[in-house]
Structure 1
């Protein structure tokens, strides 16, 4: 977990409570508002590292649920979570996820974000590409009525993505959790298939 300027209230709280990242509070708020998880659920966490969302989801679906966490970067193991390293841009990885799940997912979570280049326009474009890949994977993996959550950044391509997502999802809503930084353009789309 980062220190210094990023060590805000949420980061310090996450560290004190044993979470891997401050992002857990965003997911928890979304879960409280939208009822994302049920016991025994099958969950896919895209862009999972460092694993805060997977930690939270594992607690929510325990003891019989299944969590598959995937990231391009290596990730330390988490109790109750199957960790895979791979790139969802590779269609074979989505096929592997489907096979590993053993059935349709109840929820697909995506906290995917680009490695920032410093070029805001480029970073925004990559962010929208990641969201589109996550949506495509979710539509392949989710059961009817399954939940999709993805991080978005407001900017070029945002409105178009939301419109596209609403054609494939029902009850698609935009939510900005309290734990999101005030100066951030970050928001989350939550929808059901």
Structure 2
């Protein structure tokens, strides 16, 4: 007979005891084992699987939308660094995008399976002709939301990684300013160290509100956060059409 009092649990195992432990397999690095263990014990990974999202990252944009009202029916959305497609899935559902009338365009250099209501481009957004391809995919129409979950693979050198992510935000912000309709929003991943003062100052000139967010589904031990800029002040392009910048 088990003495529950002696165990100090009253018969109930602690959350620590209930966690799935992964043994280090031959050929698998310790870091890979820890990542796998974290994935298996992550409630957002389980939720993503049960709710049909391609990644736990879907909940980040979903939580930001719920709090900051980013999407409305009929909006046009551009997803930069879209793979594996979780953000595009959330956006497509929120704006009512369909196969017949797609309102969401995603771009990534990685392969992605089709998403109903989303036009997907296999292309590195940092390449010079990528913006023109996105504008063509939107039929020359302006966007209501430009969102970016892009990030370079980390080098382990904090200063270098910071500069690389700032560069991605800069080119994403430049594209957003080019294509957004008045009142539009821009969302981009940033990392610890925040956003460069020059970039933040530039965004404040173009948007009514600019702030940083760390959604609940973003892991507490992660350095990531998100920059949200709302209320784009720009003028609408002539006849609602966008001409790519040469």
- Flag whether TM exceeds 0.5 (same fold): yes
Partner of 1:5: 38
Alignment of 1:40-79 (within 5 A): 40-62=74-96, 63=98, 64=101, 66-79=103-116
Name the structure 1 match of 2:145. 107
Q: Going by fraction, where is strand more abundant, 1 or 2?
A: 1
Residues 9-18 or 50-59, more deviating: 9-18
Q: Look up the SS of the partner of 1:171 in the other structure.
A: strand
C-alpha displacement at 1:149, in angstroms?
A: 0.7
Q: Assess if the C-alpha contact under 8 Å between 2:119 and 2:137 holds in 1.
A: no
Which residue of the partner structure matches residue 183 of structure 1?
Answer: 221
**2:188 corresponds to which residue?**
150
**Could you tell me how far 1:159 is from its partner in structure 2?**
4.2
TM-score by length of 1: 0.92
Flag the structure with larger Rg.
2
Tell me the SS of whatever aligns to 1:91: coil
Aligned length: 192
Residues 24-47 of structure 1, C-alpha deviations (whole Å, 9 max, x = no match): 111111101111111121110000
Gap regions ≥5 residues in structure 1? none
Q: Which residue of 1 aligns with 2:159?
A: 121
- In the alignment, does 2:28 pair up with 1:28? no
> Aligned partners of 1:20 and 1:166: how far apart in 2?
33
Aligned to 1:165: 203
Match of 1:140 in 2: 178
TM-score (norm 2): 0.73
- Tell me if structure 2 keeps the 8 A contact 1:125–1:157: no
Deviation at 1:6, TM superposition (A): 3.2
